């Protein structure tokens, strides 16, 4: 059954800058296409996802993860860091972004999902170091999801994404699954590579056309 995704609210320019460059890749295509339509017929982003067998959430309260974002998609090129802080409240693993002026955390349930229930991404694309699908990655993993825009009159296909584990490597001093994502749209095919921590099931590094995101320091050690 399809699930729908909402467009995130951006409260200030700092959040917008983070959003624009941390959302490169999968979710950027969906959101920027959505914003181009007239408000009289606002579309919903719908996802059809294959089932996932996930590991339990491994994030713990008090942990932090700092990433460097590099992009040559702008002039001048961008190079900045973003830090994620982990909290806990009842059944929520709370994610805070240190650099953001919006201090309201995102609540993830024990399965790693926010209130949208989507596995491909979170409603807040500023949280880029973790996606729910990462909890399912193993040595022989592969998975597919399809996204499309739903209007009151018809549906319009956006993209199909295929993710599969293609190797095992050491990144930032930690064992990682190398996951290759192939994103098909009507116009082109894009490729993104993720390195997912084998223990924490979080992002260690991501590389796509014109950008890279990598873990530079954390409370779990062995970083660069």
The set of residues, in sequence order, having a beta carbon less than 8 Å from that of 172 and lying 6+ positions away, is 204, 205, 214, 215, 216, 222, 223, 224
Two structure tokens written together for 224: 């660069």
Question: Rounded CA gap, 62 and 20, in Å?
Answer: 27
DSSP-derived 3-state class of residue 69:
strand
Q: Give residue 42's pLDDT band: very low, low, confident or very high (50, 70, 90).
A: low
- Over 50: is that where the pLDDT of 11 sits? no
Q: If you average pLDDT over every residue of the chain, what do you get? A: 82
Quote the domain boundaries for residue 17. 3-218
What integer pLDDT is reported at residue 222 of this predicted model?
61
- Express each pLDDT in 156-183 by its tens digit: 667 899 999 999 999 999 999 999 999 8
The model's pTM:
0.81
Q: Residue 205 forms beta bridges with which residues?
A: 195, 214
The answer to whether residue 223 is domain-embedded is no
Lowest mean pLDDT among 2-11, 34-43, 124-133, 151-160: 2-11
Q: Is pLDDT of 33 > 70?
A: no
Answer yes or no: is pLDDT of 38 > 60.
no
Distances in Å between the alpha carbon of 122 and those of 55, 136, 187? 17, 15, 25
Separation CA 204–CA 3 (nearest Å)? 28
**20 assigned to some structural domain:** yes
* 175 against 220, higher pLDDT: 175
> Each residue of 176-215: pLDDT tens digit?
999 999 988 878 898 999 999 999 999 999 999 899 999 9
Residue 60 in any domain: the answer is yes
- Quick check: is 49 in a domain? yes
pLDDT score of 148: 78
Q: In this structure, is residue 224 part of a structural domain?
A: no
* Domain count within the chain: 1
Whether 116 is covered by a domain: the verdict is: yes
Instruction: Give the span between the Cα atoms of 126 and 104, in whole angstroms.
Output: 12
Q: What is the mean pLDDT of residues 55-72?
A: 94
Q: Are 159 and 185 in contact (CB under 8 A)?
A: yes
């Amino acid at each position: 059954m399809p699930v729908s995704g909402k467009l995130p609210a951006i409260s200030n320019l700092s959040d917008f800058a983070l959003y624009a460059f941390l959302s490169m890749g999968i979710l950027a295509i969906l959101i920027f296409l959505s914003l181009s339509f007239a408000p009289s017929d606002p579309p919903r982003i719908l996802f059809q996802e294959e089932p996932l067998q996930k590991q339990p959430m491994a994030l713990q309260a008090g942990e932090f993860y700092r990433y460097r974002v590099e992009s040559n998609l702008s002039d001048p090129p961008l190079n900045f860091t973003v830090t994620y802080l982990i909290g806990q409240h009842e059944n929520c693993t709370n994610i805070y972004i240190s650099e953001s002026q919006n201090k309201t955390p995102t609540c993830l349930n024990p399965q790693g999902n926010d209130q949208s229930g989507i596995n491909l991404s979170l409603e807040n694309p500023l949280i880029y170091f973790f996606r729910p699908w990462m909890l399912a990655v193993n040595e022989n993993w592969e998975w597919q999801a399809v996204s499309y825009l739903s209007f009151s009159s018809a549906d319009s296909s956006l993209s199909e994404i295929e993710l599969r584990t293609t190797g095992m490597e050491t990144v930032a001093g930690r064992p990682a699954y190398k996951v290759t994502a192939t994103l098909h749209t009507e116009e082109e095919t894009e490729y993104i590579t993720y390195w997912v921590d084998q223990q924490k099931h979080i992002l260690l590094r991501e590389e796509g056309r014109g950008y890279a995101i990598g873990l530079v320091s954390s409370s779990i050690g062995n970083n660069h």
